[in-house]
Amino acid sequence: MSTALAARLLFAVFAAIVGAVFLVRSLRNEYAKPEPITNTGNDVALTCLRWTVLCWCAVWALAWLTIAFIRLKYPFELEWASGSMLDHCERVLAGRPLYLAPGPEWFPFEYPPLYFWISALVMRLMPDTTFTPLRLVSIASTLGCAGIMFAWVRQACLGARGRTWGWIAAGIFIASYRFTGAWYDIERLDMLFLVLSLSGGWMLSRAFAEQTAATDSRAVVRSNVYLLLSAVAFWFAFLTKQQAVLFIVGSLAALAVGRRWRHLVLFTAISAALCFGSVALLNQATSGWFTYYCFRVPMANGIKANLAAQYFITDLPLYAPLIALIAVSALKGMLRLKGSDRNEESDSASSSQLIPAAAWCLMGLGGSLLSRAHWGGDQNVLMAGFIGLTLLACMLAAAMETRSSRIGVALYALALAQLITLVYRPDAQIPTAASRSAGEKYQAKVRELEKDGEVLCLDHGHMSSIRHFHLMGMLDVVGFEKELPGSVVSALRSHRYAAILSDAKPEPTGALAELARTYQVEGSLHLSSSWIATGFPTPAPGREVWVLRPR
């Protein structure tokens, strides 16, 4: 752990403890019944804090939009595996299969196809075969996530406080950009998955609200329509990333807790039919390879205790201020259940809105933990958990401030502490001239080597004229099969590739042992910088890219 990260975590935890104490003290004098929203212009501290938080959210939203605009036309992959994502989309455009037997040409990533289908459609409509369409899908999805978070908080708490905390929820989400891997605008599927999953949760919450307030047959119909839309949104999320199963299970739990038995049966039937039906169809269309890559291979990753511990030690404490807010609100809710007002209609309505959000939050945290605890789980896997914490905390804050404006100072202080914890350097996320030069130098080397034949770029897709698999896709299969597929071994032994570029020197043991036996290091390409702007830093600045030739 770096000194800077340790200092950031200490600040977050300290601010959370102080804020929680202040919030608990403020709650002691809370009114027994909700206060009407009044002009708080005389409360200087409250007004200043509120506007400070809102302005800070606006600043970071503008910062992210600027970064996304600058990076939109960057000609190289922003993350080391995202060049291969473009290769996937090109296969869709060309009508070539994504899921087929692993071989020297292709190993797909272990993802369902919806992101590739949508991105390929955008590529065709623009038309544009660069990274821009894929990034536009991610940017639009990110804006959709922010919009849904605002709408969900606003729906859960009507009035001025609901709007304010809705903006804060969206702002904290955008401000989390760097500490969830700077992933919001890159050519990966995560943002599409999240906007679809959030849509499913929001639609479920709308179904809850309509059923709670149902006074006529039209409200019942609306409730059923929202439930159907929720199931469809989660199905689309499932076709984007398998982790959507967690949100479907969380929705079932929310319906059970809320005693929506009819909706529980209906949601289960629709979700099962859509998910199992699509898997069956995709399996039939790919001769079983869809299930192989998207379900059997990922199960081989396993859970590593040290990586799981990292989640609790260095990841969750970043959100200590919001966690403190949720904890205090939960304690307050448990104490209220013992009081005389536990059957108040306002509390019942509020609870019906919070149940789907709480379920989404718990499943998001669980999914982040599971992904973080296995090999390959980068900072991007934290997004679902952090979004869940932000959404639930802002809902609870809006409800508490609506009930008593006296606690507003403590609530906004915690929100401000959270934003301070997430401060980052926007300029550090933007590729430099040296980054472009590194990409151009690597690309030129590939073109030079291709004069002698087919070139395999192990670590970077979309660099060679003939597209190949990415190292991550191959290692996933090797982790499952415990050996390199025979067709790849044969290709290496027959020296199919005129040259192979690797960011790491092959070792005589491990997954790439056959590569070390059949190819030898002929030279290297020294890069003082890297064209990669986010995620795993490879090729690392100042290190060699190894050029391998047949023995």
Residue, of 27 and 230, whose pLDDT is higher: 230
Residue 50: count of CB within 10 angstroms of its CB: 23
Distance CA 249, CA 360 (A): 10
Residue 407 lies in a domain: yes
Q: Give the residue carrying structure tokens 């996530």.
A: 145
Q: Are 52 and 180 in a shared domain?
A: yes
Q: Are 37 and 150 in a shared domain?
A: yes
Residue 358, token pair as written in the block:
């709480």
Nearest CA-CA partner of 361 in 311, 328, 326, 412: 326
Q: Which of 428, 448, 467 is the last residue of a domain?
A: 428
β-strands 455-457, 499-502 pairing: parallel
Domain with 406, as residue range(s), is 3-78+143-208+301-337+344-428
Please state the domain count of the chain: 2
For residue 38, pLDDT over 70 is answered with: no
For 215-224, 259-268, 427-436, which range has the lowest pLDDT when averaged over its residues? 215-224
Q: Which of 370, 402, 428 is the last residue of a domain?
A: 428
Q: Are 364 and 438 in a shared domain?
A: no
The string of pLDDT tens digits covering residues 480-508 is 888 899 999 999 999 999 999 999 988 88
Residue 181 lies in a domain: yes
DSSP letter (8 states) at residue 36: P
**334 — pLDDT class (breaks 50, 70, 90):** low
DSSP letter (8 states) at residue 394: H
Residue 93 lies in a domain: no
Residue 213 lies in a domain: no
The string of pLDDT tens digits covering residues 171-205 is 999 999 999 999 999 999 999 999 999 999 999 99
Residue 261 lies in a domain: no
Q: In residues, how long is the chain?
A: 551
Q: What pLDDT, on the 0 to 100 scale, is given for residue 347?
A: 44
Residue 241 lies in a domain: no
**287 — pLDDT class (breaks 50, 70, 90):** very high
Mean pLDDT of 461-465: 94
Q: Which of 428, 450, 484 is the last residue of a domain?
A: 428
Q: Are 442 and 534 in a shared domain?
A: yes
Q: Are 320 and 386 in a shared domain?
A: yes
pTM for the structure as a whole: 0.93
Residue pair 397/154 in contact by the 8 Å Cβ criterion: no
323 backbone dihedrals φ, ψ, rounded to 5°: -65, -40
**335 — pLDDT class (breaks 50, 70, 90):** low
Residue 99 lies in a domain: no
Q: Are 197 and 315 in a shared domain?
A: yes
Q: Are 72 and 189 in a shared domain?
A: yes
Helix and strand numbers, DSSP H then E, in the chain:
20, 4
Q: What pLDDT, on the 0 to 100 scale, is given for residue 30?
A: 58
**351 — pLDDT class (breaks 50, 70, 90):** low
Largest interatomic CA distance in the chain: 83
pLDDT > 90: percent of the chain = 71
Q: Please state whether 544 falls in left (phi above 0), alpha (psi between -120 and 50) or beta.
A: beta
Mean pLDDT of 435-442: 95
**212 — pLDDT class (breaks 50, 70, 90):** low
Residue 246 lies in a domain: no
456 backbone dihedrals φ, ψ, rounded to 5°: -105, 120
Q: Are 424 and 543 in a shared domain?
A: no
Q: Are 71 and 29 in a shared domain?
A: yes
Mean pLDDT of 88-104: 95
The string of pLDDT tens digits covering residues 230-258 is 999 999 999 999 999 999 999 999 999 98
CA dihedral 220, 225, 230, 233 (to 10 degrees): 180
DSSP string of 47-108? HHHHHHHHHHHHHHHHHHHHHHHHHTT-SS-SSTTHHHHHHHHHHHHTT--SS----SS---
Q: Are 316 and 412 in a shared domain?
A: yes
Q: Please state whether 495 falls in left (phi above 0), alpha (psi between -120 and 50) or beta.
A: left
* Average pLDDT of every residue of the chain: 89
Nearest CA-CA partner of 422 in 11, 3, 2, 1: 11
For residue 458, pLDDT over 80 is answered with: yes
Residue pair 521/546 in contact by the 8 Å Cβ criterion: yes
**532 — pLDDT class (breaks 50, 70, 90):** very high
Q: How far is CA 319 from CA 15, 23, 123, 178, 539, in A?
A: 10, 17, 37, 14, 31
Q: Are 328 and 449 in a shared domain?
A: no
The string of pLDDT tens digits covering residues 375-431 is 667 889 999 999 999 999 999 999 888 877 778 899 999 999 999 999 999 999 999
Distance CA 361, CA 309 (A): 20
Distance CA 120, CA 129 (A): 9
For residue 299, pLDDT over 70 is answered with: yes
Residue 63, token pair as written in the block:
């910062």
Q: What pLDDT, on the 0 to 100 scale, is given for residue 32?
A: 45
Q: Are 487 and 423 in a shared domain?
A: no
